[in-house]
Amino acid sequence: MSLSTDEIKLKQAVKLLCSTGVRRPLQFERVKTWLNQFGAGPEQALGLLILRHLIYRTHDQIESTLAQALRHTAMHFVQDEQNRKKHHWHDILTGSTGLSFSFGPPRHDSTSPGKSGEVIIRLLKNKLKIPSRLISYPEVSQLGANERFILVDDGTFTGEQLSNYINVFSSWFHAPGQTGIVVSIAHQKALDNLRNIYPHIPVFYGEKITELDGLEALSQAWIESGRWTYENVTPIEVYRHVAQNKAKFSAAPLGYASLGLMVAYEHGVPDDSLQLLWDESPTWMPLFDR
């Protein structure tokens, strides 16, 4: 398969991201297998651009952004300026100012959290040094005056999953000023939705993305910048063709809510991302497992 000079450079950049561990544990062999499903010319160019612009976050990066979000959380709940200056954010969240915090990922039944929840719990305990006794869910219908519950997740892109969780366990979230949401990465759509539905529940995040990070906006940006050199077809048109005719996906090729995201974590990939990244069919092998 013959590649243009720009495409060769893109492929080299993607290979470097894998070989240096920036996208561990993603291996370049798997990347090649996924990429080889794209045809020559515009299809191959599209696959390489998706790989190059992929927002991939390792556990270490999620830990870093969660720590940033938790610091903002601590400063929000402690209003006294002296306490803010006197205490480290970690000390605030573990009780140094008299507030009793508890933390937990979303859960939707009485069973243990799923894969994402387990990763969040491990990061809270082992990396962010939140004591195990604080990683729990309130057993009462109403929080005490000095109690705070912080819902922690890896990301939110539409806000629907968190909203559904809050609706199920709404008794914890009634009192303004006693609950908060912490995520590693948040989409502006989710922030807007959560703010509209729950204006009294603040959302703290370490990283924010917007519609400009979706394939539709990037498609136009690649054309305008000259990174896309095929005049008779746009990247988004090529994507839809591959999804429909090669992967044979009949619905939601741009992912949940059609956000068209290119987001993945070391532990998995949200279904808000492009369907070609995570879904499989008899004719398509995904880049990531769900």
pLDDT for 272 equals 95
Q: Over pLDDT 90: what percentage of the chain? A: 73
Instruction: Tell me the domain boundaries of the chain.
Output: 5-56+211-278, 59-209
Instruction: Give the pLDDT confidence of 212-242 residue by residue, as tens digits.
Output: 999 999 999 999 999 999 999 999 999 999 9
pLDDT for 113 equals 43
Query: d(Cα 97, Cα 92) in Å, to the nearest integer?
Result: 6
Measured from the Cβ of residue 204, the count of other Cβ atoms closer than 10 Å reads: 21
- Listed in order, strand segments (DSSP E) in 58-210 are 100-104, 147-156, 179-187, 203-209
Three-state DSSP at 262 gives coil
**Local confidence band at 82 (pLDDT 50, 70, 90 cut-offs):** low
CA 282, distance to chain mean position in Å, is 28
- Whether 52 shows a pLDDT value over 70: the answer reads yes
Instruction: Give the pLDDT confidence of 158-202 residue by residue, as tens digits.
Output: 999 999 999 988 888 888 899 999 999 999 999 999 999 999 999
Proportion of the chain in helix, strand, coil states, percent, rounded to 5: 45, 15, 40
Tell me if 150 sits within 8 A of 103, measured CB to CB: yes
Distance between first and last Cα of the chain: 30
* Token pair listed for 92: 């605030």
Alpha helices (H) in 36-144, listed in sequence order = 42-52, 59-77, 81-86, 89-93, 115-122
Q: Which residue from 278, 207, 182 is spatially nearest to 61, judged by alpha carbons?
A: 207
- What's the topology of domain 59-209? Rossmann fold (3.40.50)
pLDDT for 122 equals 94
